[in-house]
Amino acid sequence: MDIDQIRTFLGVVANGSFLEAANRLHVTQSTVSTRIQRLEDYFGVTLFVRNRSGATLTLAGQRFFRHAKSLLLTLEQARHDIRLPSRFHASITVGARIALWEELLPRWVGAMRVLVPDISIRSEIGFEEDLIRGLIEGRMDVSMMYTPQQSPGLQIEYLFDETLVLVTTDKNKAWPNEDYIYVDWGPSFYEMHNKYFPEMDRPPQVVNIGWLGVQLIISNGGSCFLPMRIAEPMIQEKKLFLVPDSPLFKLPAYMVFPRDSDSVVLKQVLESLRSLAEMERQKSQN
């Protein structure tokens, strides 16, 4: 058994398919099959049930899954630590949606650099699917997102609520109008949006991240929903304006991390993120 076999096993679990795992790992499907077969030979059990819809874990596979993540995390941590310059004693990889990297997490990283300057921090941007996959495959230690999916071995913890506000570049233009850009903030936002605007047709522009919505309306004029903490500086600068009588939508933010990790560094990171979340919750109450 080697690290490639473990990584491949976790890749199949994360993607639910030998073919998709092969694409993600940049190897052939036969290589994935061979690695899984060698793991199954090593343990003397079948790890996956293969069918047309993909691959699902057997009971034995579910048992190994708990150990596989720990094994990979230990090996990856060892690899990072061995390569680290002597001034660092550990490393951590943090992932999040791009909106959470707007002002909030850069401020947190700066505080962490002061608090624990001997920890190397790798920061990444991704969507929920990529972030969860990174956690399952052991490439990430903790991720922050809006719509996490349950996965064996991962702990989901609520952080705080974003307040989504409707902003526009033209405060004198009646709303709704053809300049509205729908930002896909996830399924819960979709439901709230449809409930509040049941008669609204599909907007002419749809984007998958708030950052892109901002760029488009600042460049071309228009309106979209943004987290208040992102919109507020632009409102103060009079680049954006709140649409009168528009709804406020709550969008919960969560952090996701390995449930059984005994990493002291990860515990420090989690406590620091909880403190950050508490400050955000207090701000929203003021």
pLDDT tens track for 26-67: 899 999 999 999 999 999 999 999 888 789 999 999 889 878
What average pLDDT score do residues 4-10 get? 89
User: What's the confidence (pLDDT) of residue 148?
Assistant: 93
With a cut of 70, say whether residue 84 has pLDDT above it. Answer: no
Q: What is the CATH architecture of 1-70?
A: Orthogonal Bundle (1.10)
Please tell me the predicted confidence (pLDDT) of residue 77: 64
When pLDDT is cut at 50, 70 and 90, the band that residue 229 belongs to is very high
Give the Cα separation of 250 and 263 in Å (integer).
Answer: 33
Q: Are 103 and 230 in contact (CB under 8 A)?
A: yes
pLDDT digits (tens, 9 = 90+) for 97-120: 999 999 899 999 999 999 889 988
Q: How many angstroms separate the CA atoms of 179 and 240, rounded?
A: 14
Residue whose structure tokens are 């002597």: 86
Helices 210-220 + 228-236 axis angle, to 10: 20
Residues of the chain with CATH 3.40.190.10: 161-252
Cα separation of 150 and 36, whole Å? Answer: 24
Residue 82 is predicted with a pLDDT of 66
Q: For position 60, what pLDDT does the model report?
A: 92
Instruction: Look at strands 154-168 and 241-242 and give their pairing.
Output: antiparallel
Element (DSSP H or E) covering residue 56: strand 54-57
> Looking at this protein, which amino acid is placed at residue 228?
M
CATH number of 161-252: 3.40.190.10
Residues 174 and 99: their CA atoms lie apart, in Å, by 27
Say if residues 2 and 36 touch (Cβ distance below 8 Å): no
- The CA-to-CA distance between both ends of the chain, in Å, stands at 55
Q: Report pLDDT digits (tens) over 157-171.
A: 999 999 999 999 999
- CATH 1.10.10.10 residue ranges for the chain: 1-70
